[in-house]
Structure 1
Protein backbone atom coordinates (compact mmCIF):
# COMPACT_ATOMS: atom_id res chain seq x y z
CA UNK A 1 0.00 0.00 0.00
CA UNK A 2 1.37 3.40 -0.83
CA UNK A 3 1.75 6.23 1.67
CA UNK A 4 -1.40 8.10 0.60
CA UNK A 5 -3.54 4.98 1.06
CA UNK A 6 -2.06 4.48 4.55
CA UNK A 7 -3.10 8.03 5.46
CA UNK A 8 -6.59 7.50 4.04
CA UNK A 9 -6.96 4.32 6.10
CA UNK A 10 -5.98 6.18 9.28
CA UNK A 11 -8.68 8.77 8.57
CA UNK A 12 -11.44 6.17 8.09
CA UNK A 13 -13.10 5.57 11.49
CA UNK A 14 -14.48 2.17 10.48
CA UNK A 15 -11.05 0.91 9.46
CA UNK A 16 -9.52 2.25 12.67
CA UNK A 17 -12.17 0.47 14.76
CA UNK A 18 -11.74 -2.73 12.76
CA UNK A 19 -7.97 -2.63 13.26
CA UNK A 20 -8.37 -2.10 17.01
CA UNK A 21 -10.82 -4.98 17.34
CA UNK A 22 -8.67 -7.38 15.33
CA UNK A 23 -8.37 -10.86 16.70
CA UNK A 24 -11.01 -13.49 17.14
CA UNK A 25 -11.48 -12.75 20.84
CA UNK A 26 -11.15 -8.95 21.13
CA UNK A 27 -14.85 -8.13 21.34
CA UNK A 28 -15.70 -10.85 23.86
CA UNK A 29 -12.74 -9.83 26.04
CA UNK A 30 -13.94 -6.23 25.93
CA UNK A 31 -17.42 -7.46 26.84
CA UNK A 32 -16.20 -9.36 29.91
CA UNK A 33 -14.03 -6.44 31.00
CA UNK A 34 -17.00 -4.09 30.68
CA UNK A 35 -18.34 -5.68 33.88
CA UNK A 36 -15.32 -4.43 35.83
CA UNK A 37 -11.73 -5.47 36.58
CA UNK A 38 -10.99 -9.16 36.24
CA UNK A 39 -7.99 -11.38 36.90
CA UNK A 40 -6.35 -13.35 34.10
CA UNK A 41 -7.38 -16.83 35.30
CA UNK A 42 -10.94 -15.69 35.95
CA UNK A 43 -11.13 -14.27 32.44
CA UNK A 44 -9.66 -17.42 30.93
CA UNK A 45 -12.31 -19.56 32.68
CA UNK A 46 -15.02 -17.49 30.99
CA UNK A 47 -13.48 -17.80 27.52
CA UNK A 48 -14.56 -20.76 25.40
CA UNK A 49 -11.67 -22.98 24.31
CA UNK A 50 -8.96 -20.35 24.57
CA UNK A 51 -5.37 -21.20 25.36
CA UNK A 52 -3.32 -19.29 27.93
CA UNK A 53 -1.00 -18.03 25.19
CA UNK A 54 -3.84 -16.83 22.97
CA UNK A 55 -5.50 -14.90 25.79
CA UNK A 56 -2.18 -13.43 26.85
CA UNK A 57 -1.42 -12.28 23.29
CA UNK A 58 -4.89 -10.77 22.81
CA UNK A 59 -4.67 -8.91 26.14
CA UNK A 60 -1.22 -7.55 25.20
CA UNK A 61 -2.62 -6.36 21.87
CA UNK A 62 -5.59 -4.61 23.50
CA UNK A 63 -3.28 -3.07 26.09
CA UNK A 64 -0.85 -1.82 23.42
CA UNK A 65 -3.79 -0.16 21.64
CA UNK A 66 -4.74 1.62 24.87
CA UNK A 67 -8.12 -0.12 25.20
CA UNK A 68 -7.37 -1.97 28.44
CA UNK A 69 -5.17 -1.42 31.48
CA UNK A 70 -3.09 -4.13 33.12
CA UNK A 71 -2.44 -3.63 36.83
CA UNK A 72 0.12 -5.79 38.59
CA UNK A 73 0.02 -5.89 42.39
CA UNK A 74 3.24 -6.48 44.33
CA UNK A 75 2.17 -9.44 46.42
CA UNK A 76 2.70 -13.17 46.74
CA UNK A 77 1.18 -14.90 44.92
CA UNK A 78 1.28 -12.33 42.13
CA UNK A 79 -2.00 -10.66 41.26
CA UNK A 80 -2.71 -9.09 37.89
CA UNK A 81 -6.01 -7.46 36.93
CA UNK A 82 -7.27 -6.16 33.63
CA UNK A 83 -9.85 -3.44 33.12
CA UNK A 84 -11.07 -1.17 30.37
CA UNK A 85 -9.24 2.13 29.95
CA UNK A 86 -11.27 5.32 29.67
CA UNK A 87 -11.26 5.06 25.88
CA UNK A 88 -12.06 1.35 26.15
CA UNK A 89 -15.12 2.23 28.23
CA UNK A 90 -16.29 4.41 25.34
CA UNK A 91 -16.77 1.15 23.42
CA UNK A 92 -19.61 0.14 25.78
CA UNK A 93 -22.47 1.37 23.53
CA UNK A 94 -21.01 -0.69 20.68
CA UNK A 95 -20.86 -3.78 22.92
CA UNK A 96 -24.47 -3.18 23.98
CA UNK A 97 -25.53 -2.90 20.33
CA UNK A 98 -23.65 -6.07 19.36
CA UNK A 99 -25.26 -7.91 22.27
CA UNK A 100 -28.75 -6.72 21.32
CA UNK A 101 -28.24 -7.57 17.65
CA UNK A 102 -26.86 -11.00 18.60
CA UNK A 103 -29.97 -11.72 20.67
CA UNK A 104 -32.22 -10.69 17.78
CA UNK A 105 -30.23 -12.86 15.39
CA UNK A 106 -30.54 -15.88 17.69
CA UNK A 107 -34.33 -15.39 17.77
CA UNK A 108 -34.40 -14.91 14.01
CA UNK A 109 -32.57 -18.20 13.47
CA UNK A 110 -34.97 -20.04 15.79
CA UNK A 111 -37.85 -19.00 13.53
CA UNK A 112 -36.21 -20.16 10.29
Structure 2
Protein backbone atom coordinates (compact mmCIF):
# COMPACT_ATOMS: atom_id res chain seq x y z
CA UNK A 1 0.00 0.00 0.00
CA UNK A 2 1.41 3.36 -1.02
CA UNK A 3 1.37 6.47 1.13
CA UNK A 4 0.34 8.61 -1.84
CA UNK A 5 -2.27 11.16 -0.88
CA UNK A 6 -2.55 12.94 -4.22
CA UNK A 7 -2.21 11.90 -7.86
CA UNK A 8 1.13 12.51 -9.54
CA UNK A 9 1.36 14.19 -12.92
CA UNK A 10 4.78 13.13 -14.16
CA UNK A 11 7.70 10.91 -13.21
CA UNK A 12 9.54 13.70 -11.44
CA UNK A 13 6.48 14.56 -9.40
CA UNK A 14 6.17 10.90 -8.35
CA UNK A 15 9.85 10.73 -7.35
CA UNK A 16 9.69 13.95 -5.35
CA UNK A 17 6.55 12.70 -3.60
CA UNK A 18 8.44 9.59 -2.45
CA UNK A 19 11.49 11.47 -1.15
CA UNK A 20 9.56 14.35 0.37
CA UNK A 21 10.34 14.78 4.03
CA UNK A 22 13.35 16.25 5.72
CA UNK A 23 15.13 12.94 6.41
CA UNK A 24 14.18 10.53 3.62
CA UNK A 25 17.12 11.27 1.34
CA UNK A 26 19.49 10.99 4.30
CA UNK A 27 17.92 7.63 5.20
CA UNK A 28 18.51 6.45 1.63
CA UNK A 29 22.14 7.55 1.91
CA UNK A 30 22.55 5.74 5.25
CA UNK A 31 21.17 2.53 3.76
CA UNK A 32 23.20 2.75 0.55
CA UNK A 33 26.07 0.55 1.68
CA UNK A 34 24.41 -2.21 3.66
CA UNK A 35 21.37 -3.13 5.74
CA UNK A 36 21.19 -1.24 9.03
CA UNK A 37 19.53 -1.75 12.36
CA UNK A 38 17.33 1.02 13.71
CA UNK A 39 19.93 2.11 16.29
CA UNK A 40 22.60 2.35 13.60
CA UNK A 41 20.36 4.60 11.56
CA UNK A 42 19.75 6.86 14.57
CA UNK A 43 23.51 7.22 15.07
CA UNK A 44 24.16 7.86 11.36
CA UNK A 45 21.46 10.53 11.20
CA UNK A 46 22.01 12.92 14.10
CA UNK A 47 19.11 15.24 14.73
CA UNK A 48 16.30 12.95 13.61
CA UNK A 49 13.81 12.01 16.29
CA UNK A 50 12.87 8.38 16.84
CA UNK A 51 9.26 9.15 15.94
CA UNK A 52 10.15 10.77 12.61
CA UNK A 53 12.67 8.07 11.71
CA UNK A 54 10.04 5.37 12.33
CA UNK A 55 7.47 7.32 10.31
CA UNK A 56 9.80 7.85 7.35
CA UNK A 57 10.95 4.22 7.37
CA UNK A 58 7.31 3.07 7.32
CA UNK A 59 6.50 5.40 4.42
CA UNK A 60 9.57 4.26 2.47
CA UNK A 61 8.62 0.65 3.15
CA UNK A 62 5.04 1.27 1.96
CA UNK A 63 6.45 2.76 -1.24
CA UNK A 64 8.66 -0.27 -1.86
CA UNK A 65 11.91 1.67 -1.37
CA UNK A 66 13.00 0.07 1.92
CA UNK A 67 12.50 -3.45 3.21
CA UNK A 68 12.17 -4.37 6.89
CA UNK A 69 13.41 -7.75 8.08
CA UNK A 70 12.70 -9.00 11.60
CA UNK A 71 14.88 -11.78 13.01
CA UNK A 72 13.69 -14.39 15.50
CA UNK A 73 15.77 -15.10 18.53
CA UNK A 74 16.41 -14.11 22.09
CA UNK A 75 16.74 -10.42 21.19
CA UNK A 76 14.38 -8.61 18.88
CA UNK A 77 16.41 -7.53 15.88
CA UNK A 78 15.13 -5.63 12.85
CA UNK A 79 17.16 -4.57 9.84
CA UNK A 80 16.27 -2.10 7.13
CA UNK A 81 17.68 -2.33 3.62
CA UNK A 82 17.13 -0.75 0.24
CA UNK A 83 15.03 -2.75 -2.18
CA UNK A 84 15.91 -2.93 -5.87
CA UNK A 85 13.62 0.06 -6.37
CA UNK A 86 15.38 1.88 -3.52
CA UNK A 87 18.82 1.22 -5.03
CA UNK A 88 17.57 2.59 -8.36
CA UNK A 89 16.21 5.70 -6.61
CA UNK A 90 19.51 6.20 -4.79
CA UNK A 91 21.36 5.91 -8.11
CA UNK A 92 19.00 8.49 -9.64
CA UNK A 93 19.73 10.89 -6.75
CA UNK A 94 23.54 10.71 -7.14
CA UNK A 95 23.66 13.35 -9.94
CA UNK A 96 21.56 15.65 -7.77
CA UNK A 97 24.06 15.19 -4.92
CA UNK A 98 26.94 15.94 -7.30
CA UNK A 99 25.15 19.10 -8.42
CA UNK A 100 24.72 20.17 -4.80
CA UNK A 101 28.41 19.61 -4.03
CA UNK A 102 29.44 21.60 -7.09
CA UNK A 103 27.05 24.54 -6.97
CA UNK A 104 26.25 24.94 -3.28
CA UNK A 105 29.55 24.17 -1.52
CA UNK A 106 29.16 26.88 1.10
CA UNK A 107 25.88 25.36 2.31
CA UNK A 108 26.67 21.70 1.82
CA UNK A 109 27.47 19.40 4.70
CA UNK A 110 30.42 17.09 3.95
CA UNK A 111 29.03 13.76 2.75
CA UNK A 112 31.09 10.91 1.36
CA UNK A 113 31.26 10.65 -2.43
CA UNK A 114 28.87 7.67 -2.55
CA UNK A 115 26.10 9.87 -1.07
Shared topology, TM-score over 0.5?
yes
SS in 2 for 1:90: helix
In structure 2, the partner of 1:34 is 32
Q: 5+ residue gaps in structure 1?
A: 1-5
Q: TM-score, with normalisation over the residues of structure 2?
A: 0.79
Q: Deviations over 1:38-71 (max 9, x none)?
A: 1100001111211111100000000001100000
Residues 31, 95 of structure 1: 8 Å contact kept: no
Q: List runs of 5+ in structure 2 lacking aligned partners.
A: 1-5, 108-115
Deviation at 1:10, TM superposition (A): 3.2
Counterpart for residue 73 of structure 1:
71
Q: Distance in 2 between matches of 1:69 and 1:93?
A: 17
Matching of residue 97 in structure 1 with residue 95 in structure 2 = yes
Q: 1:52: which partner in 2?
A: 50
Q: CA deviation at 1:106?
A: 4.3
Please say which structure displays the higher CA radius of gyration. 1
**In 1, Cα distance between equivalents of 2:100 and 2:13:** 22
CA distance in 1, matches of 2:82, 2:22: 18
Q: Which among 62, 65, 78 is matched to residue 64 of structure 1?
A: 62
> TM-score, with normalisation over the residues of structure 1?
0.81
Matching residue of 2:10: 12
CA-based RMSD: 1.7
> How far does the alpha carbon of each residue in 1:13-47 deviate from its partner, in whole angstroms, 9 at most, with x for none?
01111111121111110111111101100001111
Which stretches of structure 1, 4 residues or more, deviate above 4 A after TM superposition? none
